[in-house]
C-alpha cells in the first residue's frame, strides 16, 4: 500500500490541512478536535504542511508534561533549546528568537490541566492582538477527548477550531484505491465487486486494504467476512470520538465491522445496495438504450406525437411520444412480437433487477451472475451509442442499391466484386430459422452483418428491392458520419424491365411508377450529411 502521506495529499485531507494552516497564519492559534487515536499520519501531515505552506519548523510537544500551575511558556521554550529562565512573560515568549519561526503541535493535554492551557491560549491570543503580531510562534493545540462543552470552551476560548470530521469523501477513497493499483474491470461483476469494497469500507483505509485483497465473492457479499472481523475484536460502541464513525459524503458512516459487532448489519446491506445501484443501473440503462437504438425504426412509429404510447401501469396514464423515454417494461410491451427470444429474456432480467434496486433491495449472487451473463450477450447483439467507434478508418464505405424491382441492381452488385448482402437471399435463409420474421427484422440483420464487414475495414453493399426512404435513412444513420454512405441508383427503361420479367408485369409497373415519385429525394441523398450519390440509371444489362 502507498505510504500514508499520500492519503494526506488527496483532495479532501489536503484541503483540511490547507484550511488549518491558513487559520494558523492569520491568527497564530488553532485548536484541533479529532478522534482518538488520532488518524494515522495526521500530526506528521500538519508538520509537513507547515514547512511547505508557511516555511516554518514544527515541534511536537507532549502536553501531558504540563500539570496545573506549571509554566507552559518555560516548557515550550525549553523544548526548543532556550533556557526557561530567559522567558519571563508571554511577550518574551512571542519575541524570543528561537521560537519566532516555530510552530508547536501540542497533544496529550490532561483534563486537570485544561484550565491552565486555556489561560495560556487566551494570554497568547491577547498578546498577539496587542502587539499586532503577524508571525510566530504558532500553536496547534489538540483538544483532549472527553471534555464537556463547558470545559472545551474553557480550553479554546475564542481560538479558531478545526474539527477532523468528514475530511475524506468517496472521491478520496476511490483515488486512494487507484493509487494502490486497484483498477475497475470492464465486466459487470468485476466493477460491482470493487464498488462494493469501496462503499463498504468507506473512509477506513485499513478495511479497504483488506477488502481489496479478498476474492470476488467476498467483495460482492462481504457480510460473512465482516462478521468474522467483528467477532475477533472487542469493538467499542462506534462513535466519532473513538474513531469508529465519520462523515463520508455527508452521511454518518460507522466502521463496517464495528457496525456488525453492535447489531447494525442493515448498514452494511445499505452500502451493498448503494454500490450495486451505482454500477448495475448504468448497465441496465445501457441495455435499455441499446434495445431502443436497435429497434428505433419500429419504436418511432409506435411512440410518436401522432401515435403516443400510454404507460398503462400508472393511475393516470402519461402519453410517451419520445422512444428514448421508454422503460424496459414499455419496450417489452411495444416490441413483444419483434424482440428475439434472447433479447426478451435479457430485457426481463434487467427489468427485474432495476425494479429490485429501485425498491432498495440488493441483488443476490445468483441474479447478479445472471445479469452479468446477459450483459456480455447484449454487448454482442446491440448497437453501440456511437456507431463504428471501434472501426479502423481506412476509407471503407456502405453502398445501398436504390431502384425499383427488375432494374438490374443484383447484376450490378455481382459485377463489382465487393462484399454484399442480398436482403432477398437473407430472407430465404432466415425464414427457415426464424418464424414470423418481419421485413424490418430482415433489414436489421442485414445492417448487423454489414457492420461486421465494415468493422474489418472492407466496403459492403446492401442490395434490396425498392429500399424505402425510411430504410435508406436508417441504414445511412447506422454509419459513422466520417465514413461514406453511397446511394447507387440503378434503373432501366420500363420496357426493358418488362422484357426481363414478363410474368411480373403488374409488380414491375407499380414499382416503376413508385420509384419515379421518389427519385428526386434519392438524387440528393435524402439530404443526409454523409451520403453521396452515384447515378447508374444508364446501366444496361
- What would the pLDDT profile of 459-493 be if each residue is shown by its tens digit? 999 998 778 888 899 999 999 999 999 999 998 88
Flag whether pLDDT at 418 surpasses 70.
yes
Q: What's the confidence (pLDDT) of residue 288?
A: 96
Is residue 540 scored above 50 in pLDDT? no
- Is the dihedral angle over the CA atoms 285, 286, 289, 290 positive or is it negative? negative
Within the chain, what is the greatest distance between any pair of CA atoms? Answer: 124
What values do phi and psi take at 117, rounded to 5?
-65, -35
How would you class 443 by CB atoms within 10 Å of its CB: exposed for 0-12, middle for 13-18, buried for 19 or more? buried
29-65 pLDDT tens trace: 999 999 999 999 999 999 999 888 777 888 999 999 8
Grid coordinates representing 299 are 419504436
Average pLDDT over residues 190-205: 96
| CA 245 to mean position of chain CA atoms | 26
| Cβ–Cβ < 8 Å for 421, 459 | no
Q: How far apart are CA 348 and CA 276, in angstroms?
A: 18
pLDDT band for 1, please (50, 70, 90 cuts): low
**pLDDT, average across residues 159-185:** 91
Check pLDDT > 90 for residue 238.
Answer: yes
| pLDDT tens by residue, 244-273 | 999 999 999 999 999 999 999 999 999 999
- Give every CB contact of residue 4 below 8 A, 6+ residues apart in sequence: 40, 41, 205
| Sole residue written with cell 470530521 | 165
Tens digit of each residue's pLDDT (9 = 90 or more) over 338-389: 999 999 999 999 999 999 999 999 999 999 999 999 999 998 888 888 999 9
Give the mean pLDDT of the chain: 90
pLDDT score of 439 more than 60 = yes
Q: Are 180 and 209 in contact (CB under 8 A)?
A: yes
What contacts 135, CB < 8 A, 6 or more positions away?
100, 101
Positive/negative CA dihedral, 266, 271, 274, 275: negative
- Stretch 192-204: mean pLDDT, rounded? 96
Tell me if 534 sits within 8 A of 488, measured CB to CB. yes
Q: Which three cell numbers stand for residue 219?
A: 467483495
What is the pLDDT at residue 231? 96
Digit-coded pLDDT (tens) for 73-85? 888 888 888 876 6
pTM for the whole structure: 0.84
Among the ranges given (127-136, 366-375, 397-406, 500-509), the one the predictor scored with the smallest mean pLDDT: 127-136
Half-sphere exposure for 124 (CA within 13 Å, toward CB): 30
- Asked which of 118-122, 163-167, 469-473, 501-505 is least confident by mean pLDDT, the reply is 501-505
3-state secondary structure of 464: coil
237-256 burial string, b = 16+ CB within 10 Å, else e?
ebebebbbbbebeeeebbbb
What contacts 178, CB < 8 A, 6 or more positions away?
none
Rounded average pLDDT over 495-506: 83
**In the predicted model, is pLDDT for residue 541 greater than 50?**
no
| pLDDT confidence tier of residue 10, bands split at 50, 70 and 90 | very high
Does residue 137 have a cis peptide bond before it, meaning omega lies within 30 degrees of 0?
yes
* Residue among 109, 30, 104 at smallest CA distance from 63: 109
Tell the burial category of 341 from Cβ atoms under 10 Å away from its Cβ (0-12, 13-18, 19+).
Answer: exposed
Is 80 exceeded by the pLDDT of residue 523? yes
Are 141 and 32 within 8 A, CB to CB? yes
Cα 488 from Cα 536, distance rounded (Å): 7
What average pLDDT does the segment 301-325 reach?
87
Strand segments (E) across 319-448? 319-320, 397-402, 420-422
Average pLDDT, integer, range 267-285: 96
Residues in the chain: 541
Q: Which residues pair with 248 in a beta bridge?
A: 251
Cis peptide before 37 (omega within 30 of 0): yes
β 102-107/57-62 pair status? parallel
Helix (H) or strand (E) holding 267: helix 265-294
Amino acid at each position: 500500500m502507498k505510504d500514508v502521506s499520500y492519503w494526506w495529499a488527496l483532495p479532501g485531507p489536503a484541503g483540511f490541512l490547507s484550511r488549518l494552516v491558513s487559520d494558523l497564519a492569520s491568527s497564530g492559534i488553532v485548536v484541533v478536535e479529532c478522534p482518538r487515536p488520532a488518524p494515522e499520519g495526521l500530526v506528521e501531515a500538519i508538520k509537513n504542511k507547515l514547512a511547505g505552506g508557511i516555511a516554518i519548523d514544527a515541534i511536537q510537544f507532549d502536553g501531558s508534561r504540563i500539570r496545573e500551575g506549571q509554566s507552559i511558556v518555560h516548557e515550550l521554550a525549553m523544548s526548543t533549546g532556550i533556557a526557561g529562565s530567559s522567558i519571563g512573560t508571554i511577550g518574551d515568549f512571542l519575541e524570543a528568537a528561537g521560537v519566532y519561526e516555530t510552530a508547536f503541535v501540542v497533544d496529550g493535554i490532561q483534563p486537570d490541566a485544561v484550565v491552565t492551557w486555556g489561560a495560556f491560549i487566551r494570554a497568547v491570543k491577547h498578546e498577539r492582538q496587542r502587539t499586532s503580531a503577524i508571525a510566530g510562534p504558532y500553536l496547534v493545540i489538540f483538544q483532549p477527548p472527553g471534555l464537556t462543552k463547558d470545559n472545551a470552551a474553557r480550553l479554546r476560548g475564542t481560538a479558531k477550531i478545526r474539527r477532523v470530521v468528514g475530511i475524506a469523501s468517496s472521491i478520496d477513497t476511490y483515488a486512494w484505491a487507484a493509487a494502490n493499483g486497484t483498477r475497475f474491470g470492464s465486466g459487470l461483476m468485476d466493477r460491482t465487486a470493487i464498488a462494493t469494497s469501496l462503499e463498504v469500507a468507506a473512509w477506513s483505509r485499513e478495511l479497504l486494504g483488506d477488502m481489496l485483497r479478498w476474492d470476488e465473492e467476498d467483495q460482492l457479499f462481504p457480510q460473512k467476512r465482516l462478521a468474522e472481523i467483528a467477532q475477533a475484536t472487542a469493538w467499542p460502541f462506534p462513535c466519532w470520538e473513538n474513531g469508529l464513525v465519520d462523515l463520508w459524503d455527508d452521511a454518518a458512516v460507522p466502521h463496517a465491522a464495528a457496525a456488525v459487532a453492535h447489531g447494525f448489519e442493515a448498514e452494511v446491506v445499505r452500502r451493498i445496495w448503494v454500490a450495486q445501484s451505482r454500477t448495475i443501473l448504468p448497465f441496465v440503462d445501457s441495455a435499455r438504450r441499446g434495445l431502443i437504438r436497435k429497434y428505433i425504426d419500429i419504436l418511432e412509429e409506435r411512440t410518436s406525437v401522432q401515435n403516443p404510447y400510454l404507460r398503462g401501469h400508472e393511475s393516470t396514464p402519461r402519453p410517451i411520444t419520445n422512444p428514448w423515454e421508454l422503460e424496459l417494461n414499455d419496450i417489452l410491451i411495444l416490441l413483444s412480437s419483434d424482440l428475439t427470444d434472447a433479447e426478451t429474456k435479457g430485457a426481463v432480467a434487467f427489468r427485474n433487477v432495476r425494479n429490485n434496486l429501485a425498491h432498495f433491495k440488493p441483488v443476490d449472487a445468483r441474479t447478479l451472475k445472471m445479469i452479468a451473463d446477459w450483459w456480455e450477450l447484449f454487448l454482442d447483439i446491440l448497437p453501440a451509442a456511437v456507431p463504428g467507434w471501434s472501426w479502423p478508418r481506412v476509407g471503407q464505405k456502405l453502398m445501398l442499391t436504390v431502384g425499383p424491382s427488375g432494374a438490374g441492381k443484383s447484376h450490378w452488385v455481382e459485377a463489382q466484386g465487393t462484399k454484399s448482402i442480398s436482403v432477398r437471399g437473407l430472407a430465404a435463409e432466415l425464414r427457415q430459422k426464424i418464424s414470423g420474421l418481419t421485413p424490418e427484422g430482415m433489414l436489421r440483420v442485414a445492417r448487423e452483418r454489414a457492420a461486421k464487414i465494415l468493422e474489418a475495414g472492407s466496403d459492403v453493399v446492401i442490395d434490396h428491392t425498392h429500399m424505402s426512404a425510411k430504410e435508406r435513412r436508417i441504414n445511412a444513420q447506422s454509419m459513422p458520419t466520417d465514413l461514406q454512405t453511397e446511394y447507387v441508383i440503378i434503373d432501366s427503361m420500363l420496357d426493358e424491365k418488362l422484357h426481363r420479367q414478363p410474368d411480373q408485369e403488374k409488380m414491375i409497373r407499380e414499382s416503376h411508377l413508385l420509384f419515379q415519385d421518389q427519385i428526386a429525394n434519392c438524387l440528393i441523398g435524402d439530404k443526409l450529411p454523409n451520403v453521396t450519390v452515384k447515378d447508374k440509371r444508364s446501366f444496361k444489362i
